[in-house]
Amino acid sequence: MKPKILVTREVFDETLARLSEHFEVESNQGDTPFTADELVARLADKQYVLSSSSDRFDAALLDRCPNLKAVCNIAVGYNNIDLPACTARGVMATNTPGVLTETTADFAWALLLAAARRLPDADTWLRAGNWKRVRLKDFLGIDVHHATLGIVGMGRIGQAVARRARGFDMRVLYTNRNRLPSDIERECNATYVSRTELLQNADFVSLHLPYSPENHHVIGAQQLAQMKRGAVLINVARGGVVDDAALVAALQSGHLAAAGLDVFENEPRLNPGFLGLRNVVLAPHIGSSSSATRLNMTLLATRNAVAALTGTPPNLLNPDVLKQQKGA
């Protein structure tokens, strides 16, 4: 008899077919989000789960799912998973890094360019039938070429964003928990500086750091005030990294010229102050949303689940769980 797996949200047919080779699959192709109680009920007879970033796996839920052996997140971020709680209960947790790096970097640039050149504002104005003639001062934006780009968080995606800046002849500054090796700095044409120096000197600040309690509101009112007047903030990282209320205030006051946001605090809800602003580009957490990348994310999550059947998944987030399992 095959082990059982729950797929909590809609995925591709190819993903379900691959899973069916190894598991008895219960899928949610209707894509209705589960409440915590519904998720527990669905997992009652399951040993494995392919989860989304909106599914919360905390100690309370895990205690109600004693048969669970692996949580395979279809995301690179995993702040929805309590790793210590998983480890303590012998549950493996995995994510899907790497496969979404280039696509997310592309989208960061899409937001940056759209915000700098006021593209959504111009699009809305044109569709409303307002374009009657060309005016010299219509939709004056900000030049990207030869500007200074500051990257906060220089992991895979941050590095990919930095490499793209070469095409715009930009100066690139970065800050990171640890300084990168010199060969990677040369490849990215990037200079390591303190966070304060970066905020004070960058024309564009792009965020690429994971969410954690330590990174909660790492960009708040104080940090926004340190940014250059007329700068642009881009966030394709995680909601909660930025204090959204403080960002709304900085955009309303004109201290920041614009922002491009793919993630928000408490998403899918967002601060209503953003909706009345014409100088912010808003996207519904679609940084990795290309057909190829989203498929590859689900297939990598599948590989993690299959590997968890007999050994160590390639993207195991809590390797200490293996010691826990041996001691059980």
Helix ranges (H only) for 6-129 are 13-20, 36-42, 59-63, 83-88, 101-116, 119-127
User: Which entry of 9, 18, 285, 294 is annotated as an active-site residue?
Assistant: 285
For residue 285, indicate whether it is catalytic. Answer: yes
User: Which entry of 118, 238, 265, 294 is annotated as an active-site residue?
Assistant: 238
Listed in sequence order, the residues at least 6 apart from 185 whose beta carbon sits closer than 8 Å to its beta carbon are 191, 192
Decide: 273 and 248 in contact? Cβ < 8 Å.
Answer: yes
Helix ranges (H only) for 5-73 are 13-20, 36-42, 59-63
For residue 208, indicate whether it is catalytic. Answer: no
What is the dihedral sign for C-alpha 15, 212, 265, 144? Answer: negative
For residue 267, indicate whether it is catalytic. Answer: yes
What is the dihedral sign for C-alpha 160, 164, 205, 138? Answer: negative
Decide: 164 and 113 in contact? Cβ < 8 Å.
Answer: no
User: Which entry of 267, 278, 294, 303 is annotated as an active-site residue?
Assistant: 267
Q: Which residues are catalytic?
A: 238, 267, 285
